């Protein structure tokens, strides 16, 4: 089992939590991005540098992901690709993506992108504070524990 992180958009506190957890559980954490990400180091960390092409980090994660792995991404189209493998996918706020909920989330994402393309911006909450980190940590620990015990997704 490995942890794969879409590192381009992953907040620093979430990356740090993943690194600590990977070390504690003797797991490899692979961080994919098209640029070096500061702070990715240690024997349990692997920085996957991808080309600058659009979607290259997503493609690398999809290529590496196997059933039983845990992926951290806020990229809903990538999550949609991965839940079909099936791979367990969560975002940096602790939301779990599943086969049951991914179509709705993808549809909502596409609607919001469509609004933005037509000049109507949705207000975004860019804050990533203690509340968001705690929600992520709780979900990440729960999902990781389940995967380490070999339980299937519910």
Task: Please list the residues that pair with 18 across neighbouring strands.
Answer: none
Q: Can you give the pLDDT at residue 124?
A: 64
Query: pLDDT by residue (tens digit) across 115-149?
Result: 777 777 766 666 899 999 999 999 999 999 999 99
Q: What is the pLDDT of residue 137?
A: 97
Residues in the chain: 154
Residue 154 pLDDT greater than 50, yes or no: no
Q: Kindly list the strands in the beta sheet with 96-97, ordered across the sheet, starting from the edge strand earlier in the chain.
A: 45-49, 28-33, 2-6, 70-72, 88-90, 96-97
Q: Residue 60: its pLDDT value, please?
A: 97
CATH entry 3.40.50 includes domain 2-148: yes
Residue extents of the structural domains in the chain: 2-148
Quote the pLDDT of residue 123: 64
What residues are paired with 3 via a beta bridge?
29, 70
Please state the rounded mean pLDDT for residues 91-97: 95
């Amino acid at each position: 089992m490995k942890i794969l992180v879409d590192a381009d958009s992953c907040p620093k506190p979430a990356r740090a939590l993943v690194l600590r957890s990977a070390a504690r559980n003797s797991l490899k954490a692979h961080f994919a991005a098209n640029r070096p990400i500061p702070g990715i180091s240690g024997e349990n960390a692997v920085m996957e540098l991808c080309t600058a092409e659009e979607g290259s980090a997503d493609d690398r994660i999809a290529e590496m992901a196997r059933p039983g792995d845990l992926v951290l991404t806020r990229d809903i189209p990538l999550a949609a690709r991965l839940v079909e493998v099936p791979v367990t996918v969560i975002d940096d706020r602790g939301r779990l993506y599943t086969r049951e909920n991914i179509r709705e989330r993808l549809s909502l994402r596409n609607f919001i992108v469509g609004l933005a393309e037509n000049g109507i911006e949705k207000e975004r909450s860019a804050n990533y504070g203690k509340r968001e980190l705690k929600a992520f940590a709780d979900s990440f620990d729960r999902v990781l524990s389940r995967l380490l015990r070999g339980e299937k997704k519910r």
